[in-house]
Amino acid sequence: MKNKRVAIINSENKKIISAIKEVLKDKAEILEKDADLTNYDLIVLTGYESNFENNFTNNEVINIHPSLLPAFKEEDAITKSYLSGVKVSGVTIHKVEKEHFFGKILAQYPVLIGLETHLEEFKDDLEKVGARLYPPVIESILNDSVFDFQDLFKNPCNHTNGGCNGNCSSCNH
């Protein structure tokens, strides 16, 4: 991975932030949205930041959204998609553009909503998918490569036979 600086804008999405930090280690810093972002190559949002547009930089900015864009762009996308009756929603990682928040889609992954799925289960499923999807997309950007979905199925923790005792958010042990 090239020596690029990554700023993760702090949010309440601790599971996703933890997964990103686990993969990027000391290459990423967690900052508040009003911090000076000019010296960072990549700005990573972990959800919509209503005031972030006022703090735009010329750097690349990406975000994660809890729906399969372009559906449910608005706030509270999780509840709205759940209550709408759709059977498939998901997670989208996209570029953030100055003109409009939702830019080019970089990756999407579906999450099924079963007949007996409760809203809290759905939220948890979206968060798990986001924690799994976001780190390899970020790595591909930092390596100037195109994200490949096969990267999701690699075992990045290199633990064999459950060597991580199931505590690694990057694997399925």
How many structural domains does the chain have? 1
Q: How many residues are recorded in the chain?
A: 173
| Residue 10 belongs to some domain of the structure | yes
| Residues annotated as part of the active site | 65
Q: Hunting for tokens 């633990």 — which residue is that?
A: 159
Supply 163's token pair: 């060597």
Supply 9's token pair: 């804008």
| Residue 79 belongs to some domain of the structure | yes
Q: Is the dihedral of CA 141, 101, 15, 66 positive or negative?
A: negative
- Give pLDDT tens digits along the chain (173 positions): 557 888 888 777 888 888 888 888 878 888 887 788 888 889 998 877 655 554 556 788 999 999 999 999 988 999 999 999 999 999 999 998 877 778 899 999 999 999 999 999 999 999 999 999 999 999 999 988 888 877 777 655 554 444 454 555 545 54
- Predicted local confidence at residue 154, as pLDDT: 67
What's the whole-model pTM score? 0.81
- Predicted local confidence at residue 163, as pLDDT: 47
- Predicted local confidence at residue 109, as pLDDT: 95
- In this structure, are residues 129 and 90 in contact, taking their beta carbons and an 8 Å threshold? yes
CB-based burial label for 116 (10 Å; 0-12, 13-18, 19+): exposed
| Residue 26 belongs to some domain of the structure | yes
| Residue 136 belongs to some domain of the structure | yes
| Residue 173 belongs to some domain of the structure | no
Q: Hunting for tokens 């289960």 — which residue is that?
A: 121
What CATH code is carried by the domain that includes residue 10? 3.40.50.170
| Residue 41 belongs to some domain of the structure | yes
